[in-house]
Structure 1
């Protein structure tokens, strides 16, 4: 709920006090029995609550969306099954789905707080794209200009260096890599902006499902690198958006 807009409506006599109280009665959260929707999230953090769809039933996801849609939130869902989206699409015609990243989007309002610069997402390999796209569509949904440079890993570092003009034009960079996870260190040595490292579970046995990449990134000798959890493209896109909107 946009509290500022509601207060302005009351001030301009477009809505009565009793109607406003009815809209406010479910603040700060709404208990659905199976979920507590945090209606104060946007007021505190700048963005509405995001739905993590994995592990939730279709009925619960649709129920949460129904209540959020009543408030005209922009709704973002991560790790959404395609079958779930198809059910949602029958109810909400403006719902969109990004199949590779499993991102669900329902836009109900214009983003007012736009990013100040460009977020660039780079990947080590093509196998990292699903995680990178989760970051891409998250950052884009939150009101940022986002660009992608994929498959520029350190095994062919000339590919990365050939994109140096793009890398150095970004305000925030998200570096996504599996295997040994060296990409963020290389990128971090080329720029003077924050680099968000995303380890992926891509790799053979000793990669330990992303643990080797995670440890490499945590031990990076390049300064200015932060690290999110394994395969957490959403977390990287969200953090990049917060940085990009700082004055």
Structure 2
């Protein structure tokens, strides 16, 4: 339930079209409902402007399906199931068939012959996507190995109505590729930068654009990349001022940070419109 729905319910009680008992029954779902071993936070949109999301790892397919169904029946705004396995996707879509599954390969160019294929094991599933918005955001990734995390960020932005522009494979080992995308990067209102290995792309992007830059370190890389720790520390130690850094492989968190920025700039209450 969001602010508009709550105001409408109170107005119906005032006008006598909804009884106090019926209103009480609806409000009993706030602030949470106990479903499938989870406490579903229906109150979050009222507090933050965006609803809770469902994180797939650690949950059974049945739990995912039941939690998504509860969120759709008792909440408002987009419903997301993130990092979902094939079994979780199948169970959730069987229970709630109106969802759309976004897999990393859906938003990635075909890799060149002989190149590693990006992982397509995990998906982001979206129900009740928000209407289209006009903000221009860019999700820029250093290499194709960073593609799954970049795709997650783009799918989450899409759930909230932002069709992000994807800029791929512009890591600084090929500086000419980065320079070719300067106009795109500087035209964005927010840039999400996804990079593994040494994570240098975030500093370069923040040095050429006035837009907020949200850096996502990924676990891509050999040996001393330390499963993303090196990129994480490098982004935190960046000499480009004002970079926001989220956790390793956290495309979802980067997208939600971007939505908070544009909602505040637009004077909007998140998904509560």
Normalised by the length of structure 1, the TM-score is 0.93
The answer on 1:16 being equivalent to 2:10 is no
1:38–1:49 CA contact under 8 A, matched in 2: yes
Query: In the aligned structure 2, how far is the partner of 1:8 from the partner of 1:162?
Result: 55
Please name the residue that 1:78 is paired with.
82
Please name the residue that 1:69 is paired with.
72
Q: 1:180 to 1:241 in 2, by over 3 A?
A: same
Please name the residue that 1:131 is paired with.
149
Please name the residue that 2:201 is paired with.
183
Q: What is the RMSD of the two structures over their aligned residues, measured on CA atoms? A: 1.7
Deviation sequence 1:98-138 (CA, Å, 0-9, x none) = 1225101111x745xx7562111100001101000111111
1:122–1:176 CA contact under 8 A, matched in 2: yes
Please name the residue that 1:29 is paired with.
32
Q: CA deviation at 1:68?
A: 1.0
The answer on 1:169 being equivalent to 2:187 is yes
Query: In the aligned structure 2, how far is the partner of 1:122 from the partner of 1:189?
Result: 14
DSSP-derived class of the 1:49 partner: coil
Deviation sequence 1:158-189 (CA, Å, 0-9, x none) = 11211111111111100000111100000000
Deviation sequence 1:185-223 (CA, Å, 0-9, x none) = 000000111100100000001110001111110100001
2:217–2:231 CA contact under 8 A, matched in 1: yes
Gaps of 5+ in 1: none
Aligned length: 244
Q: CA deviation at 1:13?
A: 4.3
Gaps of 5+ in 2: 105-121, 266-273
Query: In the aligned structure 2, how far is the partner of 1:110 from the partner of 1:212?
Result: 36
DSSP-derived class of the 1:213 partner: helix
Query: In the aligned structure 2, how far is the partner of 1:69 from the partner of 1:240?
Result: 24
Q: CA deviation at 1:11?
A: 4.2
Please name the residue that 2:271 is paired with.
none
Q: 1:9 to 1:158 in 2, by over 3 A?
A: farther
1:115–1:244 CA contact under 8 A, matched in 2: no
1:46 to 33, 44, 49: 49
Q: How is 1:108-147 mapped onto 2 (pairs within 5 angstroms)?
A: 110-111=130-131, 117-147=135-165
